[in-house]
Structure 1
Amino acid sequence: MERFLQGCRAAVQHAEKTNRQLHVVLGNESCDLDSAVSSIVLAYYLAQTSDARLAFVPVLNTPRSEFPLRTECTFFLKERGVPEEYLVFRDEIDLHALHRAGLLSLSLVDHNVLPSGDVILEEVVTEVIDHRPLERRCNPKCCVTAELVGSCATLVTEKILMGASQILDTQVASLLHGTIVLDCVNMAPEAGKVTPKDSKYITLLESRFPDLPERSATFELLQKAKFDVSGLTTEQMLRKDLKVLSEEDINLAMSAIYVNLEAFLQRKDLHRDLSTFCQRHGYNVLVTMMIAFSERHEPFRQLAVYSRDERLRKSVCGALECSENPELQLSPLPSPYCDLQAYNQGNTFASRKKVLPVLKHLLSSGELVSAMQLGGAESSNPRKEAHRSCCSRTAGDQLPEGYGPLEEAGRDLTEEAELGCQGYRKQPDDPLLDEETPLPPTPMNSLVEGCPLDRGLPKLTAEAFLEKLNQITVTGSDASRTGDGEL
């Protein structure tokens, strides 16, 4: 594998000079573990079984500078002996120049349509392997494998075992095995991710390579790595799980970070880093949700609201404090900075996905724009005014269409996948929810939208306890709705 990847970098560097055709295996833009491993392993397979005149190159569809944010990827590839320096990232290869030179063909893995900026490359797509519903138009020149399984790596494993199983060695098998285990939540049926095909091929890999690491151990290591931000800078921590809302001249960012507030506030040069981050990206307000576990393995959430503009900061704080849908149960915590307000969040089920509509409604109300226009002109009691405005709005008005009541918390699962798995349908014009399709459940890339606190990992974990508790709550709500006819 290492020699193959070294050759890939050399082929990219000299492609136009040597006039050699490149066949690029391109993952999706999230560059999660499934996408990265599927592209690497499929390219390796094609290089062993196809025309030697072609150079088969896996391309990780993210800039190299962004890759450290994919902590489970960096950890797992290093653990499995895949040197990061030999990988090719999207900003290191000019696909459009290769296309214009007639030197490019493409395989897509873990997605089946190209984004608008790459749509011209569709004409050179010759293969698609994906585990989402098919969105691309039929093209007889393109071989498509699209099946609703838990992991794209399952379909890559199937292709290898049916085509040239002899190329499988322990390293390749362990890459596929670990990815499937992570995507399918340790193959636990309770999580709603695993399909019979996933189970079939994970079992086949284990039977051929009995020395593969035990599933649970692999899953726990990858889960831990996914949320390990210890090696990241403050900016990287903030960007790892970031959502941005905009209205006129106001940009409000909300980030999720997997450390407790105390540890975050003790980071060296934090105040300078927060100011630099907001200025660099044009954010007027930064809301940070901390997700961590106590010594008893009980999950908790904390919030921090940062803005150099006092009126904006107080308006956002007022909206969060007065929110009734959901009620966050905020209690102020000490802050070392006058422009950062810290809170403990009593309602641990109020994930970022549930808080975002509150902030969106605040933006759409025009309150922040008005505060911005007023500049530094303070009223006699701006905090009281912010509270009164927020309270009157959340008490009497509904949130924007498309956001259900708090009782639907049990259906608000991981941001990328489990919404679809439960049959949830987003509103077509809803800008807060990620682009997603009803099935299949895609890999769990983020816990911030409800997992682990809404839909935790199964069996003997703090998350599992909350999962069961939340199911009881939702069942009770459903029963009430059935009895009453309507809410």
Structure 2
Amino acid sequence: MEEFLSSCQRAVQAGSGVHVVLGNEACDVDSMVSALTYAYYLSKVRVQPIRRESDFVLRSDNVFLLRQLSLSPEHLLFRDQLDLRALHQEGHLRLTVPHHMNAGAVVEVIDHHLLEREASPTCPVTVEMVGSCATLVTERIIQKAPEILDQQLAQLLYAAVVLDCVNMAPSAGKVTPKDSQVAASLESRFPALPPRGALFNTLQSAKFDVSGLNTEQMLLKDMKAVSEGLNLAVSVLYITLEVSSYLERARNPALNLCPISSPHPHITAYEQGNSLASRKKLLPIVKDFLKGRDGHGHLGDMEDEEEESQVPPTPMNSLVEGCPLDDGLPHISAHDLEEKFSKMGARGAH
């Protein structure tokens, strides 16, 4: 695998056409592993889905997994190291992407969320509602090129499946029969794989390790964003007061929120009783809230709309909508966040 990554860098430097396997902007373990291993399967160029190399430190579980397998992050290529737009305009770019991205250079789609793009003769689409995209990549490799599987590649895929499927526990509501089947197949082929429980626990610990991160980095770590006339970021650390009453009334799904004390008057904190309602299921509620605001920023009659709404689909890991050839989200500084929270506090006081 390390030699493959080095060959990718040499191919980019040579200036020839490239086939980029691009994951979503979240760049969680599943996205990184799926992009890496599927590109290895295609024996083409692969680019990490996050935008800047400096952001990679925010994905502590990714860094931990690569180092555990003796793969240096220095061998990775990142989005800002390639001018995708220029390559596309020159006709030198082919993209394999998650389904929510649209660009003329896309030649294949593989993902595990709801279909947003129709298949075509020039762009095959593989979308199945499994717990991990790495499950689909593993299945493709086993079916088409099982000879490329070695201990290192198998452990990358296995780690992504186990982590995304929450240690394959049915109570978590993530694992599907296909995820279990793929995990069992990897275990039977590679008996030296680490035990599921131990692997999950070490990756889970690494995922929430924020040692060495400053306040801005902790807010950006695994941040999700939605945009419906107003751009709103949802961090693992804060929920704005302006959204809190709507979350309390949410029934689709019910969050079972119990207020807890907060050291800041403009921030409302809760203990969430419904552990199955992840941020992926919270974000559609936030998007519905934003859609219900009138031109003056006031909230309309959302209770009626909520009763009529259908169960929202689980969104993709990254709710940032757009094409991989665009300029992405603007940089968010610590000062910008502090100013935003101050304004929210001032509005709440009136």
Alignment correspondent of 2:31? 35
Alignment correspondent of 2:45? 56
Aligned length in residues: 293
Distance, in Å, in 1 between the alignment partners of 2:115 and 2:262 is 47
Distance, in Å, in 2 between the alignment partners of 1:230 and 1:33 is 19
The DSSP-based 3-state class of the residue aligned with 1:128 is: strand
* Of 78, 92, 95, the match for 1:103: 92
Distance, in Å, in 2 between the alignment partners of 1:9 and 1:58 is 10
Bigger proportion of residues as strand? 1
The DSSP-based 3-state class of the residue aligned with 2:153 is: helix
The DSSP-based 3-state class of the residue aligned with 1:172 is: helix
| 2:142 is the alignment partner of 1:161 | yes
Alignment correspondent of 2:336? none
Alignment correspondent of 1:256? 236
Following superposition, the deviation at residue 245 of structure 1 comes to 10
Alignment correspondent of 1:427? 288
Alignment correspondent of 2:278? 414
Distance, in Å, in 2 between the alignment partners of 1:245 and 1:198 is 29
The DSSP-based 3-state class of the residue aligned with 2:104 is: helix
Following superposition, the deviation at residue 3 of structure 1 comes to 0.8
Alignment correspondent of 2:304? none
Alignment correspondent of 1:142? 123
Specify whether residues 253 and 427 from structure 1 end up closer, same or farther in structure 2 by C-alpha distance, changes over 3 A only.
closer
| 2:100 is the alignment partner of 1:113 | yes
Following superposition, the deviation at residue 7 of structure 1 comes to 1.2
Is the Cα–Cα contact under 8 Å of residues 30 and 62 in structure 1 kept in the other structure? Answer: no
| 2:73 is the alignment partner of 1:84 | yes
Deviations 1:207-263 (CA, angstroms, capped at 9, x unpaired): 0000000000011111111111012123212322557899x9x99987534xxxxxx
Following superposition, the deviation at residue 13 of structure 1 comes to 2.4
Mark the structure with the bigger radius of gyration.
1
Alignment correspondent of 1:5? 5
Deviations 1:423-456 (CA, angstroms, capped at 9, x unpaired): x896385499xxxx955686799xxxxxxxxxxx
Q: What are structure 1's unaligned runs of at least 5 residues? A: 48-54, 258-287, 290-304, 306-315, 333-339, 350-408, 446-487
Following superposition, the deviation at residue 12 of structure 1 comes to 1.5
Is the Cα–Cα contact under 8 Å of residues 154 and 197 in structure 1 kept in the other structure? Answer: yes
Alignment correspondent of 1:469? none
* Of 19, 22, 27, the match for 1:26: 22
Distance, in Å, in 1 between the alignment partners of 2:104 and 2:39 is 20
| Consecutive aligned runs of 4 or more in structure 1 exceeding 3 Å deviation | 241-246, 250-257, 323-327, 340-345, 417-420, 428-432, 437-445
Is the Cα–Cα contact under 8 Å of residues 172 and 276 in structure 2 kept in the other structure? Answer: no
The DSSP-based 3-state class of the residue aligned with 1:194 is: coil
Deviations 1:141-160 (CA, angstroms, capped at 9, x unpaired): 11211111110000000010
| 2:184 is the alignment partner of 1:184 | no
Is the Cα–Cα contact under 8 Å of residues 414 and 444 in structure 1 kept in the other structure? Answer: no
The DSSP-based 3-state class of the residue aligned with 1:328 is: strand
Specify whether residues 426 and 45 from structure 1 end up closer, same or farther in structure 2 by C-alpha distance, changes over 3 A only.
same
Question: Aligned ranges for residues 50-449 of structure 1 at < 5 Å?
Answer: 55-108=44-97, 111-114=98-101, 119=102, 122-242=103-223, 255-257=235-237, 288=238, 328-330=259-261, 348-349=271-272, 410=274, 413-416=277-280, 427=288, 429-430=290-291, 438=312
Distance, in Å, in 2 between the alignment partners of 1:428 and 1:253 is 14
Distance, in Å, in 2 between the alignment partners of 1:57 and 1:324 is 43
Specify whether residues 344 and 113 from structure 1 end up closer, same or farther in structure 2 by C-alpha distance, changes over 3 A only.
closer
> TM-score w.r.t. structure 1 length?
0.53
Alignment correspondent of 1:405? none
Which one has more relative contact order, counting CA pairs under 8 Å at least 6 apart?
2
Report sequence identity in percent: 47
Distance, in Å, in 1 between the alignment partners of 2:189 and 2:47 is 25
Specify whether residues 124 and 327 from structure 1 end up closer, same or farther in structure 2 by C-alpha distance, changes over 3 A only.
closer
Specify whether residues 185 and 418 from structure 1 end up closer, same or farther in structure 2 by C-alpha distance, changes over 3 A only.
farther
Distance, in Å, in 2 between the alignment partners of 1:79 and 1:229 is 18
Following superposition, the deviation at residue 75 of structure 1 comes to 1.3
Following superposition, the deviation at residue 130 of structure 1 comes to 0.7
Following superposition, the deviation at residue 328 of structure 1 comes to 2.3
Is the Cα–Cα contact under 8 Å of residues 167 and 197 in structure 2 kept in the other structure? Answer: yes
Q: What are structure 2's unaligned runs of at least 5 residues? A: 250-256, 294-310, 320-350
The DSSP-based 3-state class of the residue aligned with 2:125 is: strand
Specify whether residues 45 and 131 from structure 1 end up closer, same or farther in structure 2 by C-alpha distance, changes over 3 A only.
same
The DSSP-based 3-state class of the residue aligned with 1:106 is: strand
Alignment correspondent of 1:273? none
The aligned amino acid for 1:238 is L
Distance, in Å, in 2 between the alignment partners of 1:197 and 1:244 is 30
The DSSP-based 3-state class of the residue aligned with 2:96 is: strand
Distance, in Å, in 1 between the alignment partners of 2:31 and 2:292 is 24
Specify whether residues 331 and 43 from structure 1 end up closer, same or farther in structure 2 by C-alpha distance, changes over 3 A only.
closer
Distance, in Å, in 2 between the alignment partners of 1:417 and 1:228 is 24
Distance, in Å, in 2 between the alignment partners of 1:46 and 1:180 is 20
Deviations 1:448-481 (CA, angstroms, capped at 9, x unpaired): xxxxxxxxxxxxxxxxxxxxxxxxxxxxxxxxxx
The aligned amino acid for 2:40 is Y
Distance, in Å, in 2 between the alignment partners of 1:253 and 1:156 is 30
Specify whether residues 131 and 97 from structure 1 end up closer, same or farther in structure 2 by C-alpha distance, changes over 3 A only.
same
